[in-house]
Structure 1
Amino acid sequence: MTIDRRNLLKASSAAFVAFAALGSGSLTRAYSANPGRRLVPDPQGLLDLPEGFSYRLLTQTGKLMSDGFATPGRPDGMGCFAHPTMANHWVLVRNHENWANIDHGHPFTDASKGLAQFDAARIYDARREGDPFFGGTTNVVIDAASGEVVRDNISLLGTAANCSGGTTPWGSWLTCEEQPLKVGEEDAQRAHGFVFEVPADATDPVDPVPLTAMGRFAHEAVSVDPESGIVYLTEDDREGLFYRFIPNERGKLAAGGRLQALAIVGRDSADTRNYARDWSRGSAERIEPGKAMPVRWIDLEDVESPEGDLRKRGFAAGAAMFTRGEGLAYGSRGDGQGAHFFNCTEGGADHTGQVWQLAPGKDGAADMLMLIYESPGADTLDLCDNLAVTPWGDLMICEDGRGDNYLRGLTPDGAIYDFARNAHEESAEFCGACFSPDGGTLFVNVQEPGFTYAITGPWESLRSA
């Protein structure tokens, strides 16, 4: 289904404004600053958007793709690239968070090609009876002028619960397994819980090579620092860590490297969750939003341990604990430096989410960590998941909440506003938010029933006052 589409707008050239000292922003505050952000009910019952914005439904679970296989279920993290060989075309590389023990839509349906027609050598892992694990990625090529899908295909298969990931400066997508299965668990024949790399121009399934040096754990998202080539990683665990991977060779992650975990200087084994029951009892010190804290990095050993105890060993060595690290993205700051922004889905006194900023140090200075936002309650921000840095300097945050789910913007001064509401299914999460290379289109997934949307409109109306 196609809804009237607006012409693509060119990206804002304004530099990203540094987030600082963000407090508990509110919807009332955001709306009073810009009443035009109120959402208009969608007559199709799919997406409610602000006045002037429109969407196109690009693909959905179960529909046949160009390669003859069905679109897999549970689309999640996603990145957008300028097509490396086709002018005026974009490529979405899209994760599918199909867990080992749940079938939410696989590529081999009655209407599609069957498993026998798939190259078995390109399946990372299959159960002993032959069925592959149905996590992985698909690539979707889009004509930038018309907005039409011109090709889509499987690009990775046989992995488990590919939740999020991140783009690289060299034109690939890093897709992350959230389900760290042991050999034998769920009938797995290989270990899971790794990162895999998928080129943006993959027209066939890639050779599934796990980047084992980046660790085995409940991987969620990554961001690559464009200056250093260092890869930062979140972990979706209630007692997870925040990691960085220093590659032996920039841009060649399969060549190995060193995995480290973040620790706050002067606060070994810090509990960053800000749970009221912890800091009120003195078992953890509350972290105030807006306070910049220097960090250090702890080297980790045996990073692909089958015991799955990396986070426990790192915390015991002094690394900070983050609860359910999920979305992670890099953005430019107003002072010319860069920062990595990440969400902790269940962080904060209300357990409804935290947003953090990590600014890499320059000329030997320490990296600086800052809590830039903590949700005061589900009505304001409910379980922040994936995120994207917008061309005009806000963060666009996907909710995976317990009621209505929204795409919510976070301004540099700490105000939250609604950008989109999932009007189709109350409990279905938004995920995979990312912008086209020209900044004129926002792509996003609704995981159930498995829709991928392209949203266009007057983005300049959303710039912070």
Structure 2
Amino acid sequence: MTFSRRKFFAIAGTTAVGTLMVSPMEGLLARQAFGRRFGKGYGPLVPDPRGLLDLPAGFQYRTFSLTGELMNDGTKVPGGHDGMAAFPGPRNTVILVRNHELSPTSATQVQGPNPYDPFCKGGTTNLVVGRDRQLIKQFTSLSGTFRNCAGGLTPWGSWISSEENTSTPTSFPIGNRNYVSKFHGYNFEVPASVTSAVKPEPLIAMGRFNHEAVAVDPKTGIVYETEDTGDSLFYRFIPKVRGKLKEGGTLQALKFKDIFQAQTFADFPKGKPMKVEWVTITEPNPPQDTVRVEGFAKGAAQFARGEGIWYGNGEIYFCCTSGGALGLGQVWRYIPAKETIELFVESTSAAELENPDNIVVSPYGDLILCEDGDDEQFLVGVTPKGELYQFARNSLNTSEFAGACFSPDGKTLFVNIQTPGITFAIWGPWTSHRG
């Protein structure tokens, strides 16, 4: 980091910041300073005097749960804040379940009494946030897992936390800096209602691969899964019993109906729905990282690093971080009821969109994308027409945004800056300043 830990905590110690209305000249200067196109949205971003988060005029933020803080269970807040979801809690509180993307060599770790693998430092923490957006309680809810990047919320009130690593005791034996004692590459379920760490149980039937994120169709209970590799597949898991993933089910991969082994990395038409079908994976828990190899051999389509995914209004959107002709990212839209998929967004320049990662469908119809590029990082909004705009800028450093999600009442956007690890609550005039 290019700033001291003392400076970080001094900056982040402020509980809330209200941004002010800006003049046309100030808005122009903001555009020139950031070098980014704004388009439709909530207006130009106002530079944050505290150097944390630039937002449109009228929006405010509060920070909490910084890396290193002491939690209620006596452990410290780990780093690597990543995927996250918000759930309704008792007495009008909000419960956040948050991933920590940490490996065995990370400087911090998720500490809990029931680690899945004692040599691994990833996992989840649960946060209880009050009506005033103040943190009430935080504690470890899952530990001993490997690089919990993202995941997804379920309609039955739990968070599926996903491992983005397929290490085994053979691939990383004792003596290696990354050694592990168990197989990795699984999903784990964490109920939002827990008050202490769960006993980890891998959801083996959902597949062992470089998991990124999941989204559940509430109408069917089918779980859709992304995979973060350069030749990833897009999966669905059909559980034997709706809402009970531990009881197993069938894993399948998406195939374009009229294209065998489609490669969607570039030169795909935008806005053209295409019919799909599904091929069944017969070995969802292979000894090697070969689930996608089996699926592709059966005709499944390949995607360029599938990452964030979210369900909203009968549609499922997911990001391909390095997709597109320029490798700057794509957003795909899958409609389960029609069994169609289409390329919804493809970045044409880094100034427009750079490597989208986590994604959320907002209550107001737009998508919010978390950038994970090389330079300055933005939260990028996407209108229902596919128009892009910048909603927030990380003015602290160049670390990625992660874990964007809205409170159950739709009034607060929660999001993380992954490093050094900080969670934001953002609120303001969500239905105004729209172009």
TM > 0.5: yes
Q: Which residue of 2 aligns with 1:57?
A: 63
Is residue 257 of structure 2 the alignment partner of residue 265 of structure 1? yes
Q: Which residue of 2 aligns with 1:299?
A: 280
Is residue 350 of structure 2 the alignment partner of residue 378 of structure 1? yes
SS at 2:220 equivalent: coil
Q: Which residue of 2 aligns with 1:170?
A: 156
Higher mean C-alpha deviation, range 368-377 or range 408-417: 408-417
RMSD over aligned CA atoms reads: 1.5
User: Following TM superposition, by how much is the alpha carbon of 1:58 offset from its aligned partner in structure 2, in angstroms?
Assistant: 1.3
Query: Which of the numbers 102, 108, 114 marks the counterpart of 1:98?
Result: 102
Distance verdict in 2 for CA 1:172–1:44, change over 3 Å: same
Q: Which residue of 1 aligns with 2:335?
A: 359
Inter-partner Cα distance in structure 2 for 1:77 and 1:107: 15
User: Following TM superposition, by how much is the alpha carbon of 1:318 offset from its aligned partner in structure 2, in angstroms?
Assistant: 0.1
Q: Answer whether contact 1:79 1:166 (CA < 8 A) is retained.
A: yes
Inter-partner Cα distance in structure 2 for 1:107 and 1:4: 27
SS at 2:65 equivalent: strand
User: Following TM superposition, by how much is the alpha carbon of 1:27 offset from its aligned partner in structure 2, in angstroms?
Assistant: 6.4
Equivalent positions of 1:251-330 (< 5 A) are 251-274=243-266, 286-330=267-311
Q: Answer whether contact 1:39 1:419 (CA < 8 A) is retained.
A: yes
Q: Which residue of 2 aligns with 1:457?
A: 428
Amino acid at match of 1:292: P
Aligned identity (percent) is 48
Q: Answer whether contact 2:100 2:110 (CA < 8 A) is retained.
A: no
Q: Which residue of 1 aligns with 2:418?
A: 447
Is residue 163 of structure 2 the alignment partner of residue 181 of structure 1? no
Q: Which residue of 2 aligns with 1:75?
A: 81
Residues 317-372 of structure 1: per-residue CA shift (max 9 Å, x gap): 1000001100000011xxxxx000000000000100000000012xxxx5110101
Residues 169-213 of structure 1: per-residue CA shift (max 9 Å, x gap): 000000000011112313211100000000001111101000000
Inter-partner Cα distance in structure 2 for 1:341 and 1:431: 16
SS at 1:421 equivalent: strand
Amino acid at match of 1:440: K
Inter-partner Cα distance in structure 2 for 1:5 and 1:39: 14
Inter-partner Cα distance in structure 2 for 1:27 and 1:56: 25
Q: Answer whether contact 1:161 1:178 (CA < 8 A) is retained.
A: yes
Distance verdict in 2 for CA 1:266–1:343, change over 3 Å: same
Q: Answer whether contact 1:2 1:55 (CA < 8 A) is retained.
A: no
Residues 72-104 of structure 1: per-residue CA shift (max 9 Å, x gap): 110100000001xx221110000000023x314
Q: Answer whether contact 1:27 1:415 (CA < 8 A) is retained.
A: no
**Structure 1 ranges of 4+ moved more than 3 A:** 2-6
Is residue 185 of structure 2 the alignment partner of residue 193 of structure 1? yes
Inter-partner Cα distance in structure 1 for 2:166 and 2:98: 20
Q: Answer whether contact 1:443 1:454 (CA < 8 A) is retained.
A: yes
Q: Which residue of 1 aligns with 2:8?
A: none
SS at 2:432 equivalent: helix
User: Following TM superposition, by how much is the alpha carbon of 1:313 offset from its aligned partner in structure 2, in angstroms?
Assistant: 1.5
Inter-partner Cα distance in structure 2 for 1:308 and 1:298: 18
Equivalent positions of 1:210-289 (< 5 A) are 210-274=202-266, 286-289=267-270
Inter-partner Cα distance in structure 2 for 1:397 and 1:74: 18
User: Following TM superposition, by how much is the alpha carbon of 1:61 offset from its aligned partner in structure 2, in angstroms?
Assistant: 0.7
Q: Which of structures 1 and 2 has the larger relative contact order (alpha carbons within 8 angstroms, sep 6+)?
A: 1
User: Following TM superposition, by how much is the alpha carbon of 1:2 offset from its aligned partner in structure 2, in angstroms?
Assistant: 3.2
Inter-partner Cα distance in structure 1 for 2:372 and 2:409: 27
Q: Answer whether contact 1:225 1:330 (CA < 8 A) is retained.
A: yes
Aligned length, in residue pairs: 401
Is residue 14 of structure 2 the alignment partner of residue 2 of structure 1? yes
Distance verdict in 2 for CA 1:451–1:44, change over 3 Å: same
Inter-partner Cα distance in structure 2 for 1:390 and 1:212: 31
Residues 134-170 of structure 1: per-residue CA shift (max 9 Å, x gap): 10000000112x2111110000000000000000000
Q: Which residue of 2 aligns with 1:422?
A: 394
SS at 2:289 equivalent: coil
Inter-partner Cα distance in structure 2 for 1:107 and 1:98: 8
Distance verdict in 2 for CA 1:176–1:462, change over 3 Å: farther
Inter-partner Cα distance in structure 2 for 1:462 and 1:312: 47
What TM-score comes out, normalization by structure 1 length?
A: 0.84
Inter-partner Cα distance in structure 1 for 2:292 and 2:433: 39
SS at 1:87 equivalent: helix
What TM-score comes out, normalization by structure 2 length?
A: 0.90
Higher mean C-alpha deviation, range 183-192 or range 195-204: 183-192
Distance verdict in 2 for CA 1:181–1:367, change over 3 Å: same
Equivalent positions of 1:343-354 (< 5 A) are 343-354=319-330
Inter-partner Cα distance in structure 2 for 1:462 and 1:410: 15
Inter-partner Cα distance in structure 1 for 2:305 and 2:161: 17
Equivalent positions of 1:13-52 (< 5 A) are 28=37, 31=39, 33=40, 36-52=42-58
Unaligned runs of 5+ in 2: 1-12, 19-34, 173-177
Inter-partner Cα distance in structure 2 for 1:322 and 1:107: 31
Higher mean C-alpha deviation, range 406-415 or range 437-446: 406-415
Q: Answer whether contact 1:99 1:179 (CA < 8 A) is retained.
A: no
